Amino acid sequence: MEFRDNRSLKIRDLHVEFKTKGGIISAVEGVSLEVKRGKVTALVGESGSGKSVTSLAVMNLLPPNAKVRSGEIFLGEMNVQKLTSKERQELNGTVMGMIFQDPSTSLDPLYTVGNQMIEGIMQHQRIGKKEAYDQAVSCLKAVNLQDSELLMRKYPFELSGGMCQRVMIAITMGLKPSFLIADEPTTALDVTVQQQILTEIYRMSREEEMGVLFITHDLGVVAEIADDVCIMQDGKVVENAEVNTIFENPQHAYTKKLLNSIL
């Protein structure tokens, strides 16, 4: 299947619920948001606000005890919920990329960093091994992993948590997705590396016209990278505006509380 005009995202009235021993829990209630082509939308909230559940619903990666009860998710003009399982897998592998907060969910401990990167780049870009190798090295250097040729021969368990996080970001960047979801991608990184990652994601959004849904609890990061901001509380979007409006003229009490916490 050919995916066209796939650099923007629209979520309409999304409801996600979890089945637990204590009954049904509503984790996301009526969320609507938009990520424009070539722009970064920050999805902001404290732990348990529903922001990560929203992103997993978009990627069709909800756990077995969760389901989308209602709502629509569009990538460009395509309703992704109407795709077959095979089409969703192809979409996630070639068009939509996701940087997870926990790198262990993405890195295979049985393969070297180089094998994982080269295989992915060759598969998605349909290029030769030498070119894929060169791109992998370049991507590792972009996330401040300078001894990249040595790193390519290492396994994930030989790396620190921060290095694994940067490798995962480099892998995602190497696949050059049309749309990116980044779930707290810089939490485990020091300030210098965090700045480099934010700069690289912002560059990709502009130069590749890639839409980015950036999930975070850090309003300092939001000020650095976002064009638009959605504030979530208790599974609902309580405020949605351009980044300057959020910082200069917040309307909702919860938004004001978040802003006051960084002053």
Does 121 share its domain with 169? yes
Question: Would residue 195 count as lying in a domain?
Answer: yes
What is the rounded average pLDDT of the residues 197-218? 91
Residue type at position 94:
T
Does 51 share its domain with 125? no
- Compute the CA torsion angle 150, 152, 156, 159 (nearest 10 deg): 30
Alpha-helix residue ranges (DSSP H) falling in the chain: 51-59, 85-94, 113-125, 129-142, 148-151, 161-174, 191-207, 219-225, 243-248, 253-260
Does 167 share its domain with 191? no
- Is a pLDDT exceeding 90 seen at residue 186? no
Q: What is the CATH number of the domain that holds 197?
A: 3.40.50.300
- Is a pLDDT exceeding 70 seen at residue 208? yes
Does 60 share its domain with 138? no
Residue 209 structural domain:
1-95+178-263
Question: Would residue 79 count as lying in a domain?
Answer: yes
Does 2 share its domain with 83? yes
The per-residue pLDDT for 243 is 97
Question: Would residue 101 count as lying in a domain?
Answer: no
* Residue where a domain terminates, one of 125, 158, 176: 176
The per-residue pLDDT for 27 is 96
Does 148 share its domain with 195? no
What is the pTM for the complete model shown?
0.89
Block residue for tokens 């990329």: 97
| Domains: count for the chain | 2
- Compute the CA torsion angle 157, 57, 33, 86 (nearest 10 deg): 100
Residues 6+ apart with CB under 8 A from 35: 8, 9, 10, 41, 179, 211, 212, 213, 228
Question: Would residue 188 count as lying in a domain?
Answer: yes
Does 115 share its domain with 245? no
* Residue where a domain terminates, one of 128, 153, 176: 176
- Coil/strand/helix, residue 110: coil
By percentage, how much of the chain surpasses pLDDT 70? 97
